[in-house]
Amino acid sequence: MKYMLIMRANDEAMASFENVDFDEALTVMGKFNDELVSAGVLVAAEGLDDAAQGVVVDYSSQPPVVTDGPYGETKELFGGFWILDVASKEEAVEWAKRAPMSGPGMKAEIRRVASIDEFPQDNEWVQKERAWREATGQL
C-alpha cells in the first residue's frame, strides 16, 4: 500500500526555519531520506517552493478565481511530501514519527494513495489511464 506523508507547518514553524542553516537542514533530511531508500519504502519525495510563489485556483465560482500567494487565511501550509510503499498505515505512522520535523507547529498528515485497481476497470477513463501507466512503466 502507498501512503503520502505530507509535511505541514504553521506560521510559527515557518518563521523558525529562517534561522536554520540550509546545508544542515539538507543533511538531516538527506539522512532520513536515505533511511527510507535503504528500507526500500521510498517511492517519491519532494519539497515545495515558498507559498508566496504559488497560486490558489478557487472553484467556488465560474470561471474559477485565481489568487496569488501568500495565503493569509491558511492556518497551515504544505511544505513537501514523501510517498512510501509500506505494508500498513501503522508502518507509515512509524516512519512519519521518525521524520526530522520537530518543533511547535510542525505536523505530518498521512493519507493512503488509492491504487488504480480500486476504480471500476470497465470505465473508459480508467482503462486509458491504466494503458498510460503501463506504457510509462508505472504498472
Copy the grid coordinates of residue 79. Answer: 511544505
Instruction: Give the phi and the psi of residue 32 in degrees, each rounded to 5.
Output: -65, -45
Question: How much of the chain, in percent, has pLDDT values that exceed 90?
Answer: 50
Residue 109 lies in a domain: yes
pTM, two decimal places: 0.81
Integer Cα distance of 65 and 71 in angstroms: 14
**pLDDT computed for residue 70 by the predictor:** 64
The band of 57, judged by pLDDT with boundaries at 50, 70 and 90, is confident
Examine the pLDDT at 84 and tell me if it is beyond 70.
Answer: yes
Beta strands in the chain (DSSP E): 2-9, 42-47, 55-58, 65-68, 77-85, 106-113
Task: Specify the pLDDT at position 74.
Answer: 60
- Asked if residue 23 is part of any domain, the answer here is yes
Distance CA 139, CA 123 (A): 18
Residue 26 lies inside a defined structural domain of this protein: yes
Q: Which domain holds residue 97?
A: 2-115
With cut-offs at 50, 70 and 90, classify the pLDDT of residue 97. Answer: very high
- The SS3 assignment for 92 reads helix
Structural domains counted in the chain: 1
Decide if pLDDT at 72 tops 70: no
Q: Which helix (H) or strand (E) holds 130?
A: helix 124-135
**Considering the domain boundaries, does residue 123 fall inside one?**
no
Q: Which amino acid is at 8?
A: R
Q: What is the pLDDT of residues 109-123, one digit of tens each?
A: 999 998 889 999 999
Take residue 62 and report the three cell numbers written for it. 465560474
- Report the alpha-carbon angle 134-137-138, nearest 5: 80
- How far is 127 from 131, CA to CA, in rounded Å? 6
Average pLDDT in the 77-105 region? 91
> In terms of Cα–Cα distance, which of 67, 74, 55 is closest to 9?
74
Model confidence at 73: pLDDT above 70: no
On whether residue 24 sits in a domain, the answer given is yes
- Tell me how crowded residue 113 is: count the other CB atoms within 10 A of its CB: 12
Calculate mean pLDDT across residues 48-60: 83
What's the CATH code of the domain at 57? Answer: 3.30.70.1060
Decide if 133 is inside a domain: no
